[in-house]
Amino acid sequence: METNLRPRRSALYLPASNAKAIAKARALPCDMVILDLEDAVAPEMKAEARAAAVAAVNEGGFGHREVAIRANGLDTEWGEADLAAIAGAKVDAVLVPKVNGPEDITTYERALAGAPAHVQLWTMIETCASVANLPAIAAMAGTTRLSLWIMGTNDLAKEMRAQLTPCRTPFLPFLSMAVAAARANGVAILDGVCNEFRDLEVFEAEARQGLMFGFDGKSLIHPAQIEPCNTVFSPSEADLAWANAVIQAFSLPENTGKGAIKVDGKMAELLHLEQARRLVAVSEAITANG
Ligand SMILES: CC(C)(COP(=O)(O)OP(=O)(O)OC[C@H]1O[C@@H](n2cnc3c(N)ncnc32)[C@H](O)[C@@H]1OP(=O)(O)O)[C@@H](O)C(=O)NCCC(=O)NCCSC(=O)C[C@H](O)C(=O)O
Ligand SMILES: [Mg+2]
């Protein structure tokens, strides 16, 4: 079983130019906070936002939450200064936008050469080119800091000229391909944002769709989305009842040495035992995180 079961159910973005939002995020029940320097910040505010983001993470106060800063791309006028500033800041990760292929991971890896070893590289999956290169990008995880992807469905919709509707039909093949490529390479993966932050029914349906696809959690844009997101991405009582029944059944003397048994009228194999143990461990990690 994997050893890093850190809960990553909910990752809240906020514009690093918004001091009030940063202060608020320190007490919100999200698992991750992402201070954005990219799309949420107007060009004339970029330098100020960069300084505010670095000051905020250095000040700390985010508790158990993983904290990242999303940089502008290295193909923009702000990217280089962003990466240099983030590499020297107290962050868990730098999130970079609009990567297209494995060569971009190499470029960002070089830009982060001076950062402490624990600083991870997270990337957005949000360009058409990245969708065509999913396995090659994910494979970079073995030799670089790359450890997590976040889907950028707004940018994908823009590049594809597709419509971002609640059912997300145009994106479904990419979502499952991205999850498979990430899993094959030990990369964690979060779903994209739901822009409908006033309609929590739409949000919850989209979060449940993400859970069904296998995402570890979802990226968020508003505090109101955190609680429903945490609920969707936490093992439910029914999940845990099933997991405990499977674990219990496999521990019975009469099932010793068996690979497939019957639990509650359904087949359970050793692979289900592994899934059951993971569910219980995820639930314990969530409880431990408070
Ligand atoms: C979407 C918003 C602009 C809405 O803002 P607003 O109308 O001010 O919301 P509220 O009045 O409901 O806010 C209530 C209080 O909550 C605070 N707040 C709001 N949002 C956040 C937040 N994200 N984090 C922390 N706190 C937040 C407000 O300050 C209010 O506080 P108070 O006054 O004390 O009551 C706004 O929510 C927002 O800016 N959201 C984040 C936008 C963002 O970061 N976008 C970039 C990332 S998404 C993206 O780029 C996707 C990807 O790249 C892709 O391609 O898909
Ligand atoms: Mg984007």
Per-residue pLDDT of the chain (290 residues; tens, 9 = 90+): 666 789 999 999 999 999 999 999 999 999 999 999 999 999 999 999 999 999 999 999 999 999 999 999 999 999 999 999 999 999 999 999 999 999 999 999 999 999 999 999 999 999 999 999 999 999 999 999 999 999 999 999 999 999 999 999 999 999 999 999 999 999 999 999 999 999 999 999 999 999 999 999 999 999 999 999 999 999 999 999 999 999 999 999 999 999 999 999 999 999 999 999 999 999 999 999 87
Residues pairing with 108 in the sheet: none
Q: Which atom of ligand 1 is nearest to the CA of 34?
A: 44
Burial environment of residue 195 by CB neighbours within 10 A (0 to 12, 13 to 18, 19 or more): middle
Question: Which of 221, 225, 226 most suits a substitution to test ligand 1, by most atoms within 8 Å of the C-beta?
Answer: 221
Q: What is the pLDDT of residue 206?
A: 98
Q: Which helix (H) or strand (E) holds 90?
A: none
Q: What separation in angstroms does the CA of 85 have from each of 25, 51, 189, 204, 290?
A: 21, 8, 25, 36, 31
Please give the distance, rounded to the nearest whole angstrom, from the Cα atom of residue 42 to the centre of ligand 2. Answer: 14
Give the residue carrying structure tokens 């800091």. Answer: 145
Q: 0.90 exceeded by the pTM? A: yes
Domains of the chain, first to last: 10-232 (3.20.20.60), 237-289 (no CATH)
Please give the distance, rounded to the nearest whole angstrom, from the Cα atom of residue 98 to the centre of ligand 2. Answer: 7
Which of 163, 141, 145, 143 is CA-nearest to residue 154? 163
Residues pairing with 266 in the sheet: 263
Q: What is the pLDDT of residue 290?
A: 72
Please give the distance, rounded to the nearest whole angstrom, from the Cα atom of residue 287 to the centre of ligand 1. Answer: 27
Would the CB of 124 count as within 6 Å of ligand 1?
yes
What 109-118 contacts at long range (C-beta under 8 Å, 24+ apart), as own/partner pairs, is 109/140, 109/144, 109/145, 109/146, 111/74, 111/80, 111/83, 111/84, 111/87, 112/83, 112/87, 112/145, 114/87, 114/88, 115/86, 115/87, 115/88, 118/92
Would the CB of 152 count as within 6 Å of ligand 1?
yes
